[in-house]
Amino acid sequence: MKKVKKAVIPAAGLGVRFLPATKAQPKEMLPIVDKPAIQYIVEEIIESGINEILIITGKSKRSIVDHFDKSLELEVRLEEKGNAELLEMVQELGKLADIYYTRQKEPLGLGHAVYCARQFVRDEPFAVLLGDDIVQSDRPCLRQLMDLYDQVQSTVIAVMEVPQEEVSKYGILDAVQEQPGIYRISDLVEKPSQDNAPSRLAIMGRYIIEPGIFPVLAGAEPGAGGEIQLTDALKVLCREQAMYGLAFQGKRYDVGNKLGYLQATVEFALARPDLSGAFREYLRTLCAKINEPV
Ligand code: UTP
């Protein structure tokens, strides 16, 4: 039986929707409370049982590499100050998993970023987690996909039903439900218009993909937005192999857009025992103020 042992995080995009914050720093490093977005993703991968991770980086993305590296100077300072708790946290960060890096020289699109992982992946099924999509769930979202992969031994994509007026923001499935929450995919369309969308089942930032995607990506042409789209390559693969969508359990935040980022920040802060009391009180006062008659 084939097992998923490697994960890829494409994090080389320009982050245009979050300018000017992303002019010189990666959007994947924007903190949600006190942890950069990409750390939540790395932790989800590790909790799912995968220990080999490739991060696709690009221009202005050095801080991602530094974040997961050992920081001797910081460790010495924390030791001198006797701050054992912070010292342990920083040391743990440096040895979270085996993290490898490769550069996407130009941000030509998500499909191209995934193609940059071919040497790392070779001929195994692999997971892809987008660097700006965070999922909060009891069982890690990636683990849920891996459980389905173990059964079907074929490409599995995380999906969520979105309102009709939002279909043009996503890759959308043409699919039939085989079991509750499990869809057999017959086609995929990147960012269709409302009239042309085959369903409201949208692709979220988690995939398990068969290595057969690489020959398809090798010959891929730019699609929607002039970018080499992963959805277009999956569309071709879907004609050759079985492909499934999984409506996962959990809440997904697109932290690459401003509203999604704010929602994640508020909800993650409310879930933090060390912050929730004071923060809840602050929000209560704020809500009362907002609701006051003007
Ligand atoms: P997005 O489309 O959300 O990222 O891609 P973007 O292009 O940075 O976003 P905007 O529209 O400019 O704000 C999803 C993920 O794929 C990565 C991004 O870093 C993000 O984590 N990506 C995208 C790449 O690695 N390379 C690319 O060429 C495009």
Read off the pLDDT of residues 178-236 as tens digits, 9 standing for 90 and up: 999 999 999 999 899 999 999 999 999 999 999 999 999 999 988 888 999 999 999 99
- Distance (Å) from CA 109 to ligand 1 centroid: 7
Pure H helices in 50-190: 62-67, 72-81, 84-94, 110-115, 118-121, 141-152
* pLDDT greater than 70 at residue 121: yes
Task: Find the residues whose C-beta lies inside 6 A of ligand 1.
Answer: 10-17, 56, 104, 107-110, 112-113, 130-132, 256
pLDDT of residue 266: 97
The rounded distance, in Å, linking the Cα atoms of 35 and 17 is 20
pLDDT of residue 76: 87
Could you tell me if residue 10 is inside a domain? yes
Residues 13-38, mean pLDDT to the nearest whole number: 93
Could you tell me if residue 96 is inside a domain? yes
Query: Do the Cβ atoms of 157 and 181 come closer than 8 Å?
Result: no
pLDDT of residue 294: 67
How do residues 73-120 score in pLDDT, each as one tens digit? 888 888 888 888 888 888 887 777 789 999 999 999 999 999 999 999
pLDDT of residue 115: 98
Could you tell me if residue 279 is inside a domain? no
Domain region containing 122: 6-256
C-alpha closest to that of 276 among 263, 266, 285: 266
Mutate which of 132, 206, 252 to test ligand 1's pocket (most atoms within 8 Å of Cβ)?
132
Residues 127-140, mean pLDDT to the nearest whole number: 95
Could you tell me if residue 201 is inside a domain? yes
Could you tell me if residue 281 is inside a domain? no
Phi, psi dihedral angles at 195 (to 5 degrees): -70, -30
Phi, psi dihedral angles at 17 (to 5 degrees): -65, -15
CATH (domain of 25): 3.90.550.10
pLDDT of residue 95: 76
- Looking at the 3D structure of the chain, how many domains does it have? 1
> What letter would DSSP give residue 107?
-
- Distance (Å) from CA 290 to ligand 1 centroid: 35
The DSSP line for 212-225 is THHHHHHT----GG
- The alpha carbons of the chain give a radius of gyration, in whole angstroms, of 20
Mutate which of 9, 14, 261 to test ligand 1's pocket (most atoms within 8 Å of Cβ)?
14
The minimum-distance atom of ligand 1 relative to the CA of 11 is 19
pLDDT of residue 230: 95
Of 48-52, 68-72, 203-207, 236-240, the range with the lowest mean pLDDT is 68-72
Could you tell me if residue 271 is inside a domain? no
Determine what percent of the chain is predicted with pLDDT higher than 90. Answer: 80
Could you tell me if residue 93 is inside a domain? yes
- Distance (Å) from CA 56 to ligand 1 centroid: 11
Could you tell me if residue 275 is inside a domain? no
